[in-house]
């Protein structure tokens, strides 16, 4: 009896499975023929095995929408275009820390100053000093004119471009700060000016472009 | 002793030196004499020469860059003018002549720049002080750090040390070190002290003959400063002073002292 029942179940299941298989085969055959009719280039489908390549999930397939996940994530607040004011840490406690410090490197040579900025950034990463931002200030172009007064006035031109890179650091402890300064200074290449100063709002504002039309309109209103 | 601690803690306004606090409490248990010493550094003026491999790599990279780079405006102009000259010689082109006479040729500009470059004389990397090995002058090794060493009388010995002076109660260790510097170099030396925390410590016990209950030994705290002005006026009070590099320190300092000093010296 016991032996018989499982057999029955099995057989039933088998029959069921076979039925399902047949049904699915029937459906897939339909699909295959349909696809073959519409897209002759689809070699995979025409190869013989019906299931190769036809994995597109239609709305009728149980796997429809299998990759969806956006509905599970929390809703994103749309970003405001306006820039927020920067934060500054006030030094307290026995382990005195500096707030935001800007390391500004200026030079006439672009490659040199960029490589030095990369070096300083990597050094801070290695010493586990948090680097807030690492940005470049716009380049300034200076034209040098020589006025030679020997008979005819000649003007010899030279065009000099000044490049500046800034690395912003936070959380530098006061015991470590002079060591960092010494390391950076001893690795300073020729021709690069180094400046370490506290970050102020004026520094932040200098990066933003002023909009003269907006200011004019504001002046007109007020 | 606690009173002294309190007075010392007040001037350490925003940046405390843990070392000073620890010393204060240690002084209550075992009295040590405290000294503040200043390591005055003259920063290098020029970069160190490249190693052989570095030079080879630099030359190779320059060549690669040159071969990969595009022509600049000046070079294009020069090539065009050479073309024009060549065409003029082969067959007379009158249309270009009028234009060519009024404009300065790129070749002339180059020659002018060459002349200017030849007039320019760079300062020598190896100065006379290097050649004569004058250890008292500041213009000696221009590519490395130079440190000030003075000869001081400790106990009954004359030793070469970094300038040090005993700590007076009621002042910070940093001001002790500054006082030491001012004592040997005069008041108006332009030096920038790096930080309020000491860089190193050297402690030693007095020989058994002098040692007493209240006077076990001495602790010397080192501070670092950068010399801002390029030249120090020759108004040194003590005659025996030297400016030496890190490698030459071994000639003058004692072994234990040298070990502690070398720990905080950065010589790249």
Distance from CA of B16 to the nearest CA of A (A): 7
pLDDT recorded at residue A141: 92
Residue A70 Cα, gap to closest chain B Cα (Å) = 47
How close A175 gets to chain B, by Cα (Å)?
6
Q: What distance in Å separates the CA atoms of residue A142 and residue A82, rounded to the nearest whole number?
A: 33
Do B194 and A174 lie within an 8 Å CB cutoff?
no
Q: Residue A129, Cβ neighbours under 10 Å: how many?
A: 18
Contact yes or no for B195 and A177 at CB 8 A: yes
A94 to B16: CB separation less than 8 angstroms, yes or no: yes
Give pLDDT tens digits for A149-184: 666 666 767 889 999 999 998 888 888 888 999 999
Does A161 touch chain B if contact means CB atoms closer than 8 Å? no
Q: A178–B194: do the CB atoms touch at under 8 Å? A: yes
- Closest residue, chain A, to B225 (C-alpha): A178
| Interface residue of A173, A175, A176 to substitute, partner B, most B CBs within 10 Å | A175
The DSSP H or E segment spanning B161 is strand B157-161
CA distance A181 to chain B (A): 9
pLDDT for res A55: 66
From chain B, pick out residues whose CB is under 8 angstroms from the CB of A187: 268
pLDDT value for B257: 87
Chain B residue whose CA is closest to A92? B14
The predicted pLDDT at position A15 comes to: 46
Tokens of A97: 């820390």
For chain B, 268 residues long, give each residue's pLDDT as a single digit of tens.
334 433 343 333 334 444 444 444 444 556 788 888 888 888 888 888 889 999 999 999 999 999 999 998 889 988 988 888 888 888 765 565 555 555 678 888 889 889 989 999 888 888 877 778 877 777 888 888 888 888 888 777 788 888 888 888 888 888 888 888 888 877 767 888 888 888 888 888 887 777 777 777 888 899 988 888 777 766 666 567 888 888 888 888 888 888 888 888 887 6
CA distance A205 to chain B (A): 29
Neighbours of B131 (CB within 10 A): 10
Record: contact A186-B268, CB cut-off 8 A: yes
What phi and psi values does residue A206 have, to the nearest 5 degrees?
-65, -20
> pTM for this structure?
0.70
Q: B195 vs A175: CB contact, 8 Å cut-off?
A: yes
Q: Is the pLDDT at A7 greater than 70, yes or no?
A: no
Q: Are B257 and B202 in contact (CB under 8 A)?
A: yes
Closest CA to B248 of B143, B146, B129: B146
Give the residue from chain A lying closest to B264, CA to CA. A179
A-chain residues near B46 (CB < 8 A): 190
Q: Mention every residue, 6+ apart, whose C-beta is less than 8 A from residue B69.
A: none
Residues B15, A181: C-beta atoms closer than 8 Å: no
Q: What integer pLDDT is reported at residue B239 of this predicted model?
A: 62
3-state SS, A180-213, equals HHHHHHHCCCCCEEEEEEECCHHHHHHHCCCCHH
pLDDT band at A126 (very low <50, low <70, confident <90, very high): very high
The ipTM estimated for the assembled molecules is 0.77
Lowest mean pLDDT among A27-41, A89-103, B71-85: A27-41
CB contact under 8 A, A174 and B268: no
Nearest CA in chain A to B223: A178
- Quote the pLDDT of residue A151: 60
Measure CB to CB from residue B195 to each of A178, A187, A190 and give the nearest one. Answer: A178
Set of chain B residues whose Cβ sits within 8 Å of the Cβ of A180: none
B155 CB burial (10 A radius; 0-12, 13-18, 19+): exposed
Q: Is B210 exposed, middle or buried (0-12, 13-18, 19+ CB in 10 A)?
A: exposed
**Considering only CB atoms, which chain B residues are within 8 Å of A182?**
194, 224, 266
User: Mean pLDDT for chain A?
Assistant: 76
Residue contact A96–B47, C-beta within 8 A: no
- B75: three-class secondary structure by DSSP: helix
Instruction: Give percent above pLDDT 70 in chain A.
Output: 65
Decide if B14 and A96 are in contact by the 8 Å CB cutoff. yes
- Within the 176-195 window of chain A, which residues sit less than 8 Å (CB to CB) from chain B? 177-178, 181-183, 185-187, 189-190
- H/E stretch holding A82 reads none
């Amino acid at each position: 009896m016991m032996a018989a029942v499982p057999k029955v179940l099995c057989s039933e299941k088998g029959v069921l499975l076979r039925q399902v298989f047949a049904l699915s085969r029937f459906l897939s055959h339909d699909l295959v023929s349909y696809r073959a009719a519409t897209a002759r280039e689809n070699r995979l489908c025409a190869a013989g095995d019906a299931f190769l390549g036809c994995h597109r999930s239609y709305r009728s397939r149980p796997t429809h929408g299998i990759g969806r996940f956006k509905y599970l994530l929390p809703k994103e607040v749309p970003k405001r275009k306006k820039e927020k004011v920067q934060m500054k840490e006030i030094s307290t406690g026995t382990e005195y820390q500096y707030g935001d410090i800007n390391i500004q490197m200026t030079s006439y040579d672009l490659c040199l100053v960029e490589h030095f900025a990369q070096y300083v950034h990597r050094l801070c990463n290695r010493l586990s000093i948090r680097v807030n931002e690492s940005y470049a200030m716009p380049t300034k172009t200076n034209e040098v004119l020589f006025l030679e007064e020997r008979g005819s006035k000649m003007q010899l031109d030279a065009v000099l471009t000044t490049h500046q890179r800034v690395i912003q650091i936070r959380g530098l402890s006061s015991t470590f700060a002079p060591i960092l300064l010494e390391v950076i200074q001893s690795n300073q290449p020729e021709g690069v000016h180094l400046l370490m100063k506290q970050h102020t709002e004026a520094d932040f504002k200098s990066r933003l472009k002023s909009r003269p039309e907006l200011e004019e309109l504001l002046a007109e209103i007020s | 002793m606690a009173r002294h601690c309190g007075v010392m803690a007040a001037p350490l306004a925003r940046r405390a030196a843990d070392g000073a606090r620890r010393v204060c409490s240690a002084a209550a248990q075992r009295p040590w004499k405290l000294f503040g010493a200043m390591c005055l550094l003259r920063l290098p003026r020029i970069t160190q020469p490249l190693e052989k491999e570095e030079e080879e790599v630099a030359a190779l990279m320059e060549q690669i860059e040159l071969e990969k780079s595009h022509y600049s405006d000046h070079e294009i102009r020069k090539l065009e003018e050479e073309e024009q000259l060549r065409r003029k010689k082969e067959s007379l082109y009158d249309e270009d002549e009028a234009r060519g006479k009024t404009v300065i040729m790129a070749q002339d500009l180059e020659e002018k720049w060459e002349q200017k470059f030849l007039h320019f004389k760079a300062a020598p990397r190896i100065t006379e002080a290097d050649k004569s090995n004058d250890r008292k002058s500041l213009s000696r090794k221009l590519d490395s750090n130079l440190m000030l060493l003075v000869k001081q009388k400790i106990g009954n010995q004359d030793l070469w040390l970094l300038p040090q002076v005993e700590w007076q109660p009621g002042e910070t260790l940093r001001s002790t070190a500054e006082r030491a510097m001012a004592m040997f170099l005069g008041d108006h030396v332009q030096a920038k002290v790096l930080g309020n925390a000491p860089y190193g410590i050297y402690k030693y016990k007095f020989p058994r003959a002098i040692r007493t209950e209240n006077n076990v030994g001495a602790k010397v705290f080192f501070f670092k400063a950068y010399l801002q002005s390029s030249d120090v006026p020759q108004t040194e009070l003590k005659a025996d002073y030297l400016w030496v590099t890190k490698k030459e320190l071994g000639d003058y300092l004692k072994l234990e002292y040298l070990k502690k000093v070398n720990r905080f010296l950065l010589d790249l």
